[in-house]
Amino acid sequence: MSSGVPILDTITKKCVVEQTGRFTFRIILTQGLNRQIRRMCEYLGFEVTKLKRIRIMNIKMDMSIGKWRDLTAPELEELLSLVSDSSKTDEGS
């Protein structure tokens, strides 16, 4: 999985995979395809029964289910800096 897996007519980018228990893994993606973790696991014969997102880029998801919070000024500043060169943003286009 860490070397890339063929899904959705493409090969996924390399990712970091660490086994943290008999049936649990920590996966750090560098791209975010639709249902990427589920599809990669399915390709390798694994079934995903529970998935927990802990972070999106530099923003930690540290709130309860169904809750939300405003971004802090440093989070927003870093986020904008990280996407400034992206071809998928107005500034980067």
Domains of the chain (ranges plus CATH)?
1-52 (3.30.70.1560), 63-93 (no CATH)
Q: How far apart are CA 47 and CA 44, in angstroms?
A: 9
Distance of CA 37 to the CA centre of its chain: 8
Structure tokens belonging to residue 15: 């990712």
DSSP structural state of residue 6: E
Q: What pTM value is reported for the model?
A: 0.75
How many residues are given for the chain?
A: 93
Tell me the pLDDT of the chain (93 aa) as tens digits: 889 999 999 999 999 999 999 989 999 998 888 999 999 999 999 999 999 999 988 899 988 989 999 999 999 999 999 888 887 766 544
pLDDT given for residue 58 in this prediction: 87
pLDDT given for residue 75 in this prediction: 94
